[in-house]
Chains A and B, each alone.
Chain A
Amino acid sequence: MIPLSWYLILAAAMFCVGLYGVLARRNAIAILLGIELMLNAVNINVVAFWRYLNPENIAGQAFALIVFAVAAAEVAVGLALIIALYRRRNTIVAEEIDLLKW
């Protein structure tokens, strides 16, 4: 039997790896990849809590399914923004997109 703690630690580690990717990468697509890792870590947590704490309650599964849909929407719009940015500014390096900075 796998204790719940193993899933939680794995998800926490994956979340932190994703956070590092978001904070440290320059390429905007790499930043979105980091966000994907974080979303996956959260979804592992949701499903693990459903299975371990309250498997009779369907809310955990419904919640996880909505997270999937939101993740897909987020990626489609995020990557479209990056493509539009590339077309106009010819860069996708996050630091060089500073037109609105003071």
Chain B
Amino acid sequence: MIPNEYLPIAVLFILATGLAALVIILGHAFGPRRPTARKLMPYESGMTPIGPGTRRIRVAFYMIAVDFILFDIEVVFFLPWAVYARELSYYGLLVIGIFTVLLLVGFIYAWKKGALEWE
């Protein structure tokens, strides 16, 4: 039932997780660990750390992520069209063109709003 073409992905997945787990386990098993309070402190170039380590990030990161979602979905919708593009010819191009232009409106808005700037 499950096609064999997924076998390499499964093998790759198992290898990747297995290797990562192996490295961590080996490090724990053979590395000497003599922790002291000072050693366990977050490293801050030799200074005593001030405040919590979990600071807020800038909203610009979120803007980039929203733009990314737009293009991500564009790609996903392109894919079924792209495998059939030759047969669909100009009609398919028109449909996908409207789709793209509409999505570009959002991108231009983000651009004009300055959401992509990183001063």
Contact = CB atoms under 8 A, between A and B. Distances in A.
Please say whether the chains A and B touch (CB closer than 8 A).
Answer: yes
Interface of A: 1-2, 65, 68-69, 72, 75-76, 79-80, 83
Contacts of A76: 66, 69
9 contacts: A1-B1, A2-B1, A65-B77, A68-B76, A69-B73, A69-B77, A76-B66, A79-B62, A80-B66
9 shortest A-B CB distances, which residue pairs?
A: A76-B66, A72-B69, A69-B73, A72-B73, A76-B69, A83-B62, A83-B59, A1-B1, A68-B76
A1, A2, A65: residue with the most chain B Cβ atoms closer than 10 Å: A65
Contacts of B66: 76, 80
Main secondary structure of the interface of A (DSSP, over half): helix
Given A1-B1, A80-B66, 9 more contacts: A65-B76, A65-B80, A69-B73, A72-B69, A72-B72, A76-B66, A79-B62, A80-B62, A83-B59
A70 B73 CA distance: 10
A34 to B, nearest CB: 20
A80 B65 CA distance: 11
Nearest to A76: B66
A68 B66 CA distance: 15
Nearest to B63: A80
A2 B69 CA distance: 34
Nearest to B59: A83
Contacts of A79: 62
Interface in B60-95: 62, 66, 69, 72-73, 76-77, 80
A76 B66 CA distance: 6
A72 B65 CA distance: 11
A65 B79 CA distance: 12
B30 to A, nearest CB: 38
Contacts of A65: 76-77, 80
Nearest to B66: A76
Contacts of B62: 79-80, 83
